[in-house]
Structures are given as C-alpha cells and as structure tokens.
C-alpha cells in the first residue's frame, strides 16, 4: 500500500460487496491498493492475463505484455498508478493508470489517465479489467479508491465501452463526494464478431449496410482491374512499414510513426508468422493496404492506408471486406480495429457505444480544463472561442 496515493484512513479502502453477484462471497470485503513500481507491475502478470481472458472483449492491447511495453516506452515522464481490487486475497479488478503533469490554459495540473491512452484518445481500446462474477463490486471499490487518491487534479477515463461498470461507478462515486464530473458518449467501431461465413456476417448488418458494401465492391471491380491478396513474402517488418509509409505520403504530410510497443508487437508477430498485410492492387499498383496481426482467435487491424486517387471508390472499405473474409477463412472469431481509421467505420459493423468520464478535484481544475477544450474546439473549426479565455 502506498500512502501517498490512497489515504490509510479512508473507509473506502474496505468496501463490503453488495448486490446479488457472487452470492457465496457477498459478505467478503473488497480491499484496494495502489501499486507504483515496475516490480509490482510485473507481479500482476498472471492475474492480469486471467482477467483479460475472462473479459471476452479485449485482446493484445489489454494484455499485460502490451501495457508493460507501453510503460517501458512512455514511462519516464509519467508516474505509475495501478489500482488493484482483491477479495479474499484474489485479484478481482485492475485499473492501470499513470499520473502526468499537464497544463490547461497555463495552469499546471496533475492528470490521471489509463495506461495506453493520451489525453482523451483511446486508440487501442484499452479498458479496466474486472472479474466477470465480481465486476460491480470491484468497480465500486476501485472507483471510490481512485477518487480518494490525493495526488491528482483531473481524472480522465478515456473512451471505454459504455457497458464497463467502472464508468458508471466513477460517476456515482463522484456524485457521492460532490466532485465535478462529466461524461461524453459516442459511437465507434471497435470490435467485429465473425460468425464463420460471409453470408452470415452480412445478415448481421442492416439492409442499408449490406447494399452499400455490395455496391462499393461492384463499383470498384467494374471500373478497374482489381486484385486482392495477403502479402506473406515480406523479408522484414521494415518492408511492411515502408509499403504503408509510401501510401501514407500520397495523402498526408504527417509521418504517422508507430509507437515502440506497436513495433515490438509487430516484430514478435512477424517472427511467429502472425503478421498479415492485406493488399488491394489496381492496374498492377498498390491502391490500399491493411496491416493486421493474429492474436489468439482474433485478427487485430492496426493501420490502413490508400492511394487518394481512388478515394471515390472507398478502397479501404472494399479491402477490409476481403480481410474479413480472409480472417473467417483462417478461423478467426473476431476482428479488432484500432481507433481513428477512416473510410469504413460506418459500414462494416454495427457501432458500439463508448463513454469517457472526466472528474475534477477542484473548481479551478474544472474551469481550466473546460476552457482549454473550448479553445481546442474553436481552433479545430476555425472560429474564436466565446467566453473561453484562459
């Protein structure tokens, strides 16, 4: 237990499990502690992987290996805060956080965020880990403990599945503590369940989605000589990345370099023959590519790029139709999509609801944060911000 993180006298450290879940252990006490060292991080590996496997919703980006690699790459200017809930000694919940100093409208703030996220961006769909039979009790204990920590001004739980109990528990705990709290809801493509056959997949979509999917493929194939394949012959990860970079330069000046944890995952996947580069050639030249890796029974689509001269034919959407068919042929049961991809979010899968929760310890922190957000929004849309001066 680290006293700087959670007050030792805080009664929320020991919360009785309530409700009907886990009836045989309902009277047991949930204990919460905050871990902050690499060795403590390492000690969680087995329980972390167990909870990740139990969730049924997450893959490589919520694994202990991924988070530890992310921390090694980004940890130097951040302080580790992993909050762990235990009942009868068994780990039933993990909220992996880090604390970082940031400035909002010139005001220095200490911000808590999920490992693997930046600001309000959760590109890799990381999430708190909760034991299936104890999720609500663990979420309540973790939420109260996190908000009881002393060394933060703003908590950002960025863009997690709206069904994750921690989001609601944080809002409830904030209300009980009279803390300012905001929730931002959205809908995005993250995970696509694969039924095993293309026609069964199509039946899972709306009639409008099915019509657009078929129309896009037909329009492209009618207008151009198109060829679809999976590239297995690359001699190195660098060759794959060079192909992606070439297409990216055609439509943007941004370099879009991959982070160190992604490169580690790619290198391991390449060595184990789990890497896939789905390709679409038009008139003999690369028109679109989708980089993916196989993670157990899932296919994780990491990045897509395309030649902008074919944008009107939605080449990424059409290529991902081929990738989905190929993944099903391999026996994959789901496709996970890294957030922020364009050109296909509205077509390939019923979108799921996401929620972001931001809590503030002080009124100053809330005002500075909101003013900064207003200024960023005004800059994005090219107009001055009203009453958002810092």
Identify the pLDDT of residue 258. Answer: 60
Question: Per-residue pLDDT tens for 52-90?
Answer: 988 765 567 889 999 999 998 888 889 999 999 999 999
- Dihedrals phi, psi of 217, to nearest 5 degrees: -65, -45
Q: What is the mean pLDDT of residues 248-277?
A: 71
Q: What is the DSSP letter of 384?
A: P
Q: What does the longest C-alpha to C-alpha distance in the chain come to?
A: 71
> Does residue 199 sit in the same domain as residue 290?
yes
How far apart are alpha carbons 341 and 351 in whole angstroms? 13
Tokens 């940890």, residue?
75
pTM: 0.64
- How sure is the predictor about 20, in pLDDT bands with cuts at 50, 70 and 90? very low
Tokens 């068919």, residue?
325
**Higher pLDDT pick, 371 / 353:** 371
CA atoms within 13 A on the CB side of 389: 1
> Does residue 200 sit in the same domain as residue 212?
yes
**Higher pLDDT pick, 1 / 269:** 269
> Does residue 373 sit in the same domain as residue 275?
no
> Does residue 122 sit in the same domain as residue 196?
no
3-class DSSP assignment, residue 41: helix
Lowest mean pLDDT among 63-72, 185-194, 267-276, 284-293: 185-194
> Does residue 54 sit in the same domain as residue 106?
yes
Identify the pLDDT of residue 44. Answer: 96
> Is 388 part of a structural domain of the chain?
no
Identify the pLDDT of residue 244. Answer: 76
Range of the domain at 124: 11-187+354-381
> Is 226 part of a structural domain of the chain?
yes
Number of domains in the chain: 2
Secondary structure in 3-state letters for 312-349:
HHCHHHHHHHHHHHHHHHCCCCEEEECCCCCCCCCCCC
> Does residue 162 sit in the same domain as residue 140?
yes
Q: End-to-end alpha-carbon separation of the chain, Å? A: 38
The answer to whether 300 touches 61, Cβ cutoff 8 Å, is yes
How far apart are alpha carbons 155 and 148 in whole angstroms? 11
> Does residue 245 sit in the same domain as residue 105?
no
Q: What is the mean pLDDT of residues 362-373?
A: 88
> Does residue 149 sit in the same domain as residue 228?
no
> Is 279 part of a structural domain of the chain?
yes
How far apart are alpha carbons 4 and 93 in whole angstroms? 21
Identify the pLDDT of residue 274. Answer: 86
Identify the pLDDT of residue 232. Answer: 62
CATH of the domain at 267: 3.40.630.30
pLDDT at 47 over 90: yes
3-class DSSP assignment, residue 125: coil
Q: What percent of the chain has pLDDT over 70?
A: 78
The answer to whether 85 touches 30, Cβ cutoff 8 Å, is yes
> Does residue 367 sit in the same domain as residue 306?
no
Q: If you average pLDDT over every residue of the chain, what do you get?
A: 81
> Does residue 95 sit in the same domain as residue 120?
yes
């Amino acid at each position: 237990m680290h006293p700087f993180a959670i007050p030792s006298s805080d009664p929320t450290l020991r919360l009785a499990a309530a409700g009907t879940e886990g009836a045989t252990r309902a009277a047991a006490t949930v204990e919460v502690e905050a871990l902050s060292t690499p060795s403590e991080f390492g000690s969680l590996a087995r329980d972390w992987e167990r909870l990740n496997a139990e969730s049924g919703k997450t893959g490589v980006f919520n694994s202990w290996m991924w988070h530890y690699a992310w921390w090694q790459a980004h940890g130097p200017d951040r302080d580790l805060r992993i909050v762990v809930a235990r009942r009868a000694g068994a780990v039933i919940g993990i909220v992996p956080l880090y604390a970082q100093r940031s400035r909002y409208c010139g005001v220095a703030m200490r911000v808590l965020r999920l490992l693997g996220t930046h600001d309000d961006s959760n590109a890799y769909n990381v999430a708190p880990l909760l034991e299936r039979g104890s999720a609500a009790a663990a979420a309540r204990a973790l939420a109260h403990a996190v908000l009881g920590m002393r060394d933060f001004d703003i908590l950002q739980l960025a863009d997690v599945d709206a069904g994750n109990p921690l989001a609601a528990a944080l809002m409830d705990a904030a209300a009980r503590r009279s803390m300012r709290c905001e929730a931002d809801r959205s809908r995005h493509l993250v995970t696509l369940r694969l039924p095993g056959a293309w026609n069964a997949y199509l039946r899972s979509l709306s009639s409008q989605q099915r019509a657009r999917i078929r129309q896009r493929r037909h329009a492209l194939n009618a207008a151009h000589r198109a060829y679809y394949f999976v590239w297995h012959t690359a001699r190195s990860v660098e060759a794959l990345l060079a192909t992606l970079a070439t297409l990216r330069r055609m439509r943007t000046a941004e370099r879009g370099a991959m982070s160190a944890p992604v490169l580690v995952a790619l290198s391991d996947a390449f060595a184990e023959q789990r890497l896939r580069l789905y390709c679409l050639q038009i008139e003999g030249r690369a028109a679109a590519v989708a980089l993916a890796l196989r993670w157990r029974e899932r296919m994780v689509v990491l990045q897509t790029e395309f030649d902008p001269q074919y944008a009107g034919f939605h080449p990424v959407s059409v290529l991902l139709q081929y990738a989905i068919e190929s993944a099903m042929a391999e026996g994959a049961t789901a496709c996970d999509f890294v957030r922020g991809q364009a050109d296909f979010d509205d077509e390939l899968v019923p979108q799921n609801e996401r929620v972001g929760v931001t809590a503030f310890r002080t009124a100053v922190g809330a005002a500075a944060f909101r003013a900064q957000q207003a200024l960023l929004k005004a800059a994005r849309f090219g107009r001055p911000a009203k009453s958002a001066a810092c």
